[in-house]
């Protein structure tokens, strides 16, 4: 464990905020390029798409800026740190990775800033880096300790592969290891799926996170994956630059009986029953493939908490791409506590309002009003998942109805965090 950051060093870090605003992305872009060139094995960990598009350098630059700006109030970063630690755990990041990253990051800061990176500044950043690294290593150790029987990638076999819509297919995974029991995860969490990509740099492993889309405790793990259009699996460039490349491998190349490597379930977005509270409402709001973690929560709630009022709200382009509708209709018919509202942005000519969808147009909570959203109930829990701007719009509308942000939980796919600045 590194020595504690001194007040003088914290002041030095704070003073570098303008420098990070100007040079942050230059530093992180060079950092990743140099890191992967000198440590090619790390290509098996880092998302090549995020590297090719510049998404990961931008995210790290933003994280460094936020860390420096809040160096004297790290509590403000706790949600972001928790999100990152779960992501790291799902990739099986280890303490020695922090050594490699720290050495390279500090070297890059020095190389980019040159003489401006004085010994005092470099000492302060070294102390600041290890302050954060020690915190994250400790949290990740706790997460690993919670999964003692699953401490590395584990082989699972695809037991079923079911089409849910024109874009989404569900994959049911069962453990290859005889006698291994699938853990009971928290509804809403995700797993990492690790596949080998021949087309990349002579062949590398690539991991992607997919939400578990069924209730826990069923003896299998299910994910429901959207296939992105316009991906050519034979195009080596697409393997680096297209965000849907791995999902296309799953759809097109992985069949029943095939074995893939999975991580233990992780994720800081999940439903958690509040103590001594069995009747407060839950509102689930999703768009597109954001439906997947909320399906896990919905299936869990309807099976285990029949007294709890549930409102299910989903937005899709049309009936062809809306997944799980027959299953959701069945749940609504069997559970009087469940009310559903389906928005369809662009219904096809053969779609009937009241049968295939409820409201035409993009999702607009104003059309539902406070009462149907249980906005007047001071214990209502809200969960939302979809594109980032969609989630922020949902939060803003609920805020306008008097719902505080602490009762609104949002899921985020990819690198980074929900922007609030």
pLDDT of residue 417 exceeding 90: no
How confident is the prediction for the chain on average, in pLDDT?
Answer: 93
Residue 415 has pLDDT above 50, yes or no: no
pLDDT value of position 240: 66
- Examine the pLDDT at 71 and tell me if it is beyond 90: yes
pLDDT in tens, 296-310: 999 999 999 988 999
Which residues on neighbouring strands pair with residue 315, listed in sequence order?
287, 343
| pLDDT at residue 310, as a whole number | 97
Reported as a pLDDT band with limits 50, 70 and 90, residue 418 is very low
Residue 134, pLDDT score:
96
Region of 369 on the Ramachandran plot (φ > 0 left; ψ -120 to 50 alpha; else beta)? left
pLDDT value, residue 158: 98
pLDDT of residue 239: 64
- The reported pLDDT for the residue numbered 419 is 46
Q: What is the mean pLDDT of residues 256-266?
A: 98
Residues marked as catalytic: 98, 140
pLDDT, residue 238, reads 67
Confidence band, pLDDT 50/70/90 cuts, at residue 215: very high
* 412 pLDDT tier (thresholds 50, 70, 90): low
Lowest mean pLDDT of 81-95, 109-123, 262-276, 381-395, name the range: 262-276
Q: Mind spelling out the 3-state secondary structure of the chain?
A: CCCCCCHHHHHHHHHCHHHHHHHHHHHHHHHHHHHHHHCHHHHHCCCHHHHHHCHHHHHHHHHHHHHHHCCCCHHHHHHHHHHHHHHHHHCCCCHHHHHHHHHHHHHHHHHHHHHHCCHHHHHHHHHHHHHHHHHHHHHHHHHHHCCCCCCCCEEEEEEEEEECCCCEEEEEEEECCCCCCCCCCCCCCEEEEEEEECCCCCCEEEEEEEEECCCCCCCCEEEEEECCCCCCCCCHHHHHHCCCHHHHHHHHHCCCCCEEEECCCECCCCCCCCCCCCCCCEEEEEEHHHHHHHHHHHHHHHHHCCCCCEEEEEEECCCCCCCCHHHHHHHHHHCCCEEEEEEECCCCCCCCECCCECEECCCCHHHCHHHHCCCCCCCCEEEEECCHHHHHHHHHHHHHCCCCHHHEEECCCCCCCCCCC
- How much is the pLDDT for 416? 45
Share of the chain above pLDDT 90, in %: 84
Which pLDDT band holds residue 230 (cuts at 50, 70, 90)? confident
Whole-model pTM? Answer: 0.94
For residues 254-273, give the mean pLDDT. Answer: 96
pLDDT single digits (tens) 356-376: 999 999 999 999 999 999 999
Whether the predicted pLDDT of 276 surpasses 80: no
Band of pLDDT at residue 208, cut at 50, 70 and 90: very high
Residue 279: pLDDT band by 50, 70, 90 thresholds? confident
- In tens, the pLDDT along 307-348 reads 899 999 999 999 999 999 999 999 999 999 999 999 999 999
pLDDT greater than 50 at residue 232: yes
Q: Decide if 227 contacts 167 (C-beta within 8 A).
A: yes
Span 238-242, average pLDDT = 67
Tens-digit pLDDT profile for residues 171-197:
999 999 999 999 999 999 999 999 999
CA 80 – CA 307 distance, rounded (Å):
33
According to the model, what pLDDT value does residue 352 have? 94
pLDDT tens column, 82-135: 999 999 999 999 999 999 999 999 999 999 999 999 999 999 999 999 999 999
């Amino acid at each position: 464990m590194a020595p504690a950051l001194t007040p003088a060093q914290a002041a030095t870090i704070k003073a570098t905020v303008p420098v990070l605003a100007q040079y942050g992305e230059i530093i992180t872009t060079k950092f990743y390029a140099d890191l992967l060139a000198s440590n090619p094995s790390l290509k098996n960990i880092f998302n090549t798409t995020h590297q090719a598009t510049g998404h990961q350098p931008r995210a790290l630059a933003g994280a460094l800026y936020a860390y420096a700006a809040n160096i004297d109030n790290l509590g403000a970063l706790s949600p972001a740190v928790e999100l990152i630690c779960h992501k790291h755990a799902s990739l099986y990041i280890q303490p020695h990775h922090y050594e490699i990253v720290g050495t390279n990051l500090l070297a890059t800061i020095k190389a980019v800033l040159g003489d401006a990176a004085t010994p005092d500044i470099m000492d302060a950043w070294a102390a600041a880096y290890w302050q954060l690294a020690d915190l994250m290593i400790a949290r990740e150790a706790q997460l690993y300790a919670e999964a003692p029987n699953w401490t590395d990638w584990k082989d699972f076999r695809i037991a079923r592969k079911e089409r849910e819509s024109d874009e989404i297919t569900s994959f049911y995974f069962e453990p290859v290891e005889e006698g291994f029991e699938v853990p009971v995860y928290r509804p809403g969490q995700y797993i990492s799926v690790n596949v080998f990509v021949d087309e990349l740099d002579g062949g590398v492993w690539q991991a992607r996170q997919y939400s578990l889309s069924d209730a826990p405790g069923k003896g299998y793990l299910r994910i429901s994956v959207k296939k992105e259009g316009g991906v050519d699996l034979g195009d080596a460039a697409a393997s680096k630059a297209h965000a849907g490349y791995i999902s296309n491998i799953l759809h097109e190349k992985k069949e029943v009986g095939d074995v893939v490597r999975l991580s233990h379930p992780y994720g800081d977005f999940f439903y958690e029953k509040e103590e001594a509270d069995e009747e407060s409402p839950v509102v689930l709001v999703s768009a597109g493939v954001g439906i997947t973690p909320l399906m896990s929560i919905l299936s869990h709630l309807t099976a285990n908490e029949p007294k709890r009022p549930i409102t299910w709200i989903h937005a899709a382009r049309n009936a062809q791409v809306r997944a799980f509708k027959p299953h959701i209709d069945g749940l609504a018919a069997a559970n009087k506590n469940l009310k559903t509202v389906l928005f369809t942005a662009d219904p096809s000519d053969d779609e009937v309002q009241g049968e295939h969808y409820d409201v035409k147009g993009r999702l607009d909570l104003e059309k539902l009003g406070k009462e149907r959203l249980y906005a007047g109930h001071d214990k209502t829990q809200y969960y939302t998942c979809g594109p980032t701007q969609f989630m922020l719009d949902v939060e803003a509308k609920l805020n306008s109805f008097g719902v505080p942000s602490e009762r609104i939980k949002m899921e985020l796919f990819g690198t980074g965090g929900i922007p609030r600045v």
